[in-house]
Amino acid sequence: MWRKGLVFITGFIVTILGITLVLQQWEAVVLVFKAFVGPILAVAGLVILFASTLKNHD
């Protein structure tokens, strides 16, 4: 029973540390997010265009 409590407390501490580190480097997080959004949108658009050209074999 004490193991679940220990795992919960450890997870809570790790979560708080992670959030703290993200907030300390918020500008870098925004830059990384912006850097990935463009290519992901471009690839998604290409996939949608490709899917729209496929013929449906009913």
Give the residue extent of every domain in the chain. 2-53
Looking at residue 58, its pLDDT comes to 56
The Cα 25–Cα 32 span in angstroms is: 11
Residue 40's Cβ-side half-sphere holds a number of Cα atoms within 13 Å equal to 6
* 57 has a pLDDT exceeding 70: no
Q: Which residues contact 3 (CB under 8 A, 6 or more apart)?
A: none
Q: How far, in Å, are 14, 16, 17 from residue 7 at the CA level?
A: 10, 14, 15
Band the pLDDT of 1: cuts 50, 70, 90. Answer: confident
pLDDT tens-digit readout, 3-45: 888 999 999 999 999 999 999 999 998 998 889 999 999 999 9
* 55 has a pLDDT exceeding 80: no
The Cα 7–Cα 9 span in angstroms is: 6
Task: Provide φ and ψ at 55, rounded to 5°.
Answer: -90, 140
